[in-house]
Amino acid sequence: MRVFLIVLDGVADRPSPKIGLMTPLQLARKPNIDLLAAGGVTGIMDPVAPGIPVGSDTGHL
C-alpha cells in the first residue's frame, strides 16, 4: 500500500462577497489538486479535540 499525504498548510481562508461567497482556494484553477482529491480519500480531523484550533506544528502531527 502506498500513502501520499499532502498538507496544504496556510490555504484556509474565509468566503468573500467579492468572489461570490467562495474562498480563494475554491475559485482558483487547481487541476492537479482536484485530480488527486477525486481519486483519493479526503477529510477533516481533530488533532486535539473538536472545536479546539491548533497551530501548524500540532496539526501536522
Q: What SS3 string covers the chain?
A: CCCCCCCCCCCCCCCEHHHCCECHHHHCCCHHHHHHHHHCCCCCCCCCCCCCCCCHHHHCC
Q: How would residue 17 be classed by pLDDT, with cut points 50, 70 and 90?
A: very high
Residue 61, pLDDT > 70, answer no
pTM value is 0.54
What's the pLDDT tens digit per position in 18-59? 999 999 989 999 999 899 889 888 777 788 888 888 877 777
